[in-house]
Structure 1
Amino acid sequence: MENSSTEILDLSSLPQEKWWTDECLYQVGGFWLMPEVVQSVDRVIKQFKPLSSDIILASFPKTGTTWLKSLLFSIVHRSAKDRLAIESPHNLVPSLEMLVYAKPNQPLITNIPFSTNNQSCRIFSTHIPYQLLAETLNSSECRVVYVTRNPKGRPISMWHFVNKWHFVNKWKKAKEKPWPFEVAVDKFCNGTFPCGPYYDHVMGYKKLSMERPSKIFFVTYEELKNDPKTHVKKLAEFLGYPFEGKENVEEQVEEVVKSCSFEVLSNHKVNKSEESPNWFKVPYNSFFRKGAIGDHENYLCDETIERIDALTREKFHSCGFMYGI
């Protein structure tokens, strides 16, 4: 599989909406993308040919991606899980649109296949909606893991992340003001949000999981947080890397869960660093905030909670996905 040149999308031909100050999101296939990734998303769709042994971690931004990258890497490459102490999970499990296809005609970037007792495989991540990636994912027997998180926390996490990101990149020069929280909430509810609408993004993968449960492992952040050992074992079985042994299975699972816990990961030097990866100018430490459930209660008023809950009933509950409230 090699990158090849493709026709460059003309951004001026795409619908666009402002989401913060003068910055616009561009609509592709009904979803809003940041201008930095429009071309790379197009390259992923047109060029990526997944192998049957590939694992694709899909998610909406800020829904537990970093944690799942750590878990998947540790499950598949158990003998190399200590790499998480010295390398960011985002470097070990590269993003298709942010790293692998970030530039045209560059050599394909993959995570190094570490030596394990099992067959090595490649693990990639993506925030691309299933609706845009369906043909690509369905073209092989690759397995997909999708994680989602309570909708009421999405504008909060993104608000924190964007303000940290823009502080590093622009405020020092342009003296721009922070992204107002009420604007972040409004944009989330209206769907004009990076990779949004959120509800459509989640339901694309949720419907796939109901139609083809052997293809995709769909899990919520809350399920993982409340019972990590059970879900880690299920993940391992789904991926084809089950925990084995008559006596030490629980110890193996416990070791993976502990090494990938928020408390352990967030205290590694690499994840506390103020330095930024070369593929996205945001500090490594911005990928770790709280990792808690229910933090929205500290930010959202009753009126806003009801506004988001009403959307959740309409978009999730009406489709039989009883989640988010």
Structure 2
Amino acid sequence: METKNSVKHPPSNSPKPLLLDQYPKKNFWDFSDIFQSQGFWYTNPHLEAARDILAHFESRDDDIFLASSIKTGTTWLKALCFSIIHGQKNVNVKVNEEEEEEDDPLVKNTPSSCVQTIENGVYMTNPTPDLSGMPSPRLFHTHFPYSALPDSIKNSECKIVYITRNPKDTMVSMWRFFNSVRTPEQGPYPFDKAFESFCDGLYPFGPFFDHVLEYWEVSLKKSDKILFLRYEEIKRDPKGLVKRLASFLGRPFVNEEEVEKVLWRCSLDRLKNLEVNKNGSTAVGLPTNSFYRHGVVGDWRNNFSHEMEERLDQISSMKLEKTGLDLNK
């Protein structure tokens, strides 16, 4: 998506990156500067990672990519997909059993370490990582919009699972998340300023609606490649949606017991009470416990004024008009 002031990513064979002063720049919530490229906003490390990914990443046909804007259910999706792909080996545990089984990888590893975000956990620390030794199927996550993905992902037979969420709950979740990593001296970022920033799309990987629509439109044309999920749908019908997810990933469940095991293992209550998710930090220094809160639908009602609700609903209606997508259900 091009905008008047957007700057294209350097081509994958470009020997030199664009200078930062060539990108439109804004400040994000006193955390860092963000830069606009092809209509979306990135931190400088994400711009550098994008350039390296475009230049070096080669997708395999059996790769699986999880994609999302920020704060739309990413951690839950990582846990579910990892458990479906890798967590069903040598498992003998009853649903709701209090004792945490030793062979469950999610007991000792966070979802973010099980499924690394490629621009953060992989390329941000090494511009040319050797991924050839990773066993198939390789499971990655990205916050990049579809337009920023390398052609090797778009043109291969790899699968993409995209998750999104009601924009009002997304905005509140984002506000609470970034407040959780602010210092006591900084204090909470003002909600009204955060709301304006969200509406204007001025945050990493924003704007929200442009991000969603890129994946939505491709999913309509290539339903065998992109599975488009809404967080609220999974909450309403977890068994049905997880079965659909497993079938899309080529790992259909054998029986209902397997479905129950995955849902229990990946439940928010269980994950946030595992020791591995209570302490420590991610590859980019964020505390692991900041990724777990309530995960409820409709929490925005505790924060939005009537005027805010009307404004974001108007933006949503305008952006999603005639697309067939409704994010307010």
Shared fold (TM-score, shorter chain, > 0.5)? yes
2:221 matched residue in structure 1: 211
1:133 aligns with 2:149: yes
| Compared CA separation, residues 111 and 223, structure 1 to 2 (3 A) | farther
1:46 aligns with 2:50: no
1:146 matched residue in structure 2: 162
1:285 matched residue in structure 2: 289
Q: Retained in 2: the 8 A contact 1:66–1:287?
A: yes
1:263 matched residue in structure 2: 269
Correspondent of 1:123 among 123, 139, 150: 139
SS in 2 for 1:58: strand
Residues 201-240 of structure 1 correspond to what in structure 2 (within 5 A)?
201-240=211-250
Correspondent of 1:165 among 177, 181, 192: 181
| Worse-superposed segment, 10-19 or 66-75 | 10-19
Deviations 1:147-192 (A, max 9, x none): 001001122111111122232xxx6xxx434321111100000111
2:114 matched residue in structure 1: 92
User: C-alpha displacement at 1:93, in angstroms?
Assistant: 0.3
Which structure 1 residue ranges, 4+ long, deviate > 4 Å from structure 2?
A: 109-113
1:19 matched residue in structure 2: 28
SS in 1 for 2:61: coil
Letter matched to residue 88 of structure 1: T
Determine the C-alpha separation between the residues in 2 that align with 1:200 and 1:280.
26
Determine the C-alpha separation between the residues in 2 that align with 1:265 and 1:22.
28
User: C-alpha displacement at 1:11, in angstroms?
Assistant: 1.3
Q: Give ranges in structure 1 of 5+ residues lacking alignment.
A: 114-119
2:324 matched residue in structure 1: 320
Deviations 1:26-54 (A, max 9, x none): 00111011223110122122321110010
Deviations 1:107-152 (A, max 9, x none): 3358964xxxxxx411000000002216242221100000001001
Q: Retained in 2: the 8 A contact 1:55–1:142?
A: yes
2:309 matched residue in structure 1: 305
SS in 1 for 2:196: helix
SS in 1 for 2:157: coil
User: C-alpha displacement at 1:103, in angstroms?
Assistant: 3.3
Letter matched to residue 253 of structure 2: F
Q: Retained in 2: the 8 A contact 1:94–1:124?
A: yes
Letter matched to residue 236 of structure 1: A
Q: Retained in 1: the 8 A contact 2:160–2:227?
A: yes
Q: Retained in 2: the 8 A contact 1:6–1:43?
A: no
Computed over aligned residues only, the root mean square deviation of the Cα atoms, in angstroms, reads: 2.1
User: C-alpha displacement at 1:202, in angstroms?
Assistant: 0.2
TM-score after normalising by structure 1: 0.88
Letter matched to residue 123 of structure 1: L
Q: Retained in 2: the 8 A contact 1:49–1:139?
A: no
Letter matched to residue 105 of structure 2: R
SS in 1 for 2:149: helix
SS in 2 for 1:163: helix
1:199 matched residue in structure 2: 209
Q: Retained in 1: the 8 A contact 2:179–2:187?
A: no
Alignment length, in residue pairs?
305
Correspondent of 1:107 among 90, 104, 129: 129
Determine the C-alpha separation between the residues in 1 that align with 2:273 and 2:15.
42
TM-score after normalising by structure 2: 0.87
Letter matched to residue 263 of structure 1: D
Letter matched to residue 319 of structure 1: T
| Worse-superposed segment, 207-216 or 37-46 | 37-46
User: C-alpha displacement at 1:5, in angstroms?
Assistant: 10
SS in 2 for 1:242: coil
Letter matched to residue 80 of structure 2: L
Q: Retained in 2: the 8 A contact 1:66–1:89?
A: yes
| Compared CA separation, residues 132 and 71, structure 1 to 2 (3 A) | same
